[in-house]
């Protein structure tokens, strides 16, 4: 099957795969060839792709949607990059900065919570990559 990851700026990834694990807003979802059609909302986290050569590819994605149709898994996401490109120290600093931002209105609190969600996900993925 084919995995395609598209951001507003570019096609971030196109790869043949035997197995794909999607980070959804309510957990992970594994996709094998001939999976039933599916549309799902992506969360922030690690996209894992086992290629046809058996090699595992890790990407960090931030929200969006996934569609599974006829052996193609298409992800439309606001942000995607190879998980190995995330700098753990930088991700932790970003999380710390977001934690310290004031949020004294409901709107600012909502924005802060969303940014913290993405920052925590980025730190988790970066920590996982640093352990390899």
pTM higher than 0.85 for the full model?
Answer: yes
10 Cβ contact list (under 8 Å, min separation 6):
none
Give 132's pLDDT tier (boundaries 50, 70, 90): confident
pLDDT tens-place string over residues 65-117: 999 999 999 999 999 999 999 999 999 999 999 889 888 899 999 999 999 99
pLDDT of residue 113: 93
In three-state secondary structure terms, 96 is helix
Of all residues in the chain, the percent with pLDDT exceeding 90 is 90
Judge whether 119 and 96 are in contact, CB under 8 Å: no
d(CA 90, CA 32): 34
């Amino acid at each position: 099957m084919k995995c395609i990851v598209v951001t507003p700026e570019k096609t971030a990834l196109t790869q043949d795969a035997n197995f794909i694990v999607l980070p959804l807003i309510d957990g992970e979802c594994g996709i094998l060839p001939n999976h039933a059609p599916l549309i799902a909302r992506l969360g922030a986290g690690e996209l894992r792709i086992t290629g046809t050569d058996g090699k595992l590819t890790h990407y960090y994605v931030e929200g969006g949607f996934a569609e599974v149709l006829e052996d193609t898994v298409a992800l439309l996401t606001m942000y995607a990059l190879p998980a190995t490109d995330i700098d753990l120290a930088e991700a932790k600093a970003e999380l710390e900065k977001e934690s310290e931002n004031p949020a004294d209105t409901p709107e600012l609190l909502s924005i802060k919570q969303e940014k913290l969600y993405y920052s925590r996900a980025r730190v988790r993925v970066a920590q996982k990559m640093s352990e390899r």
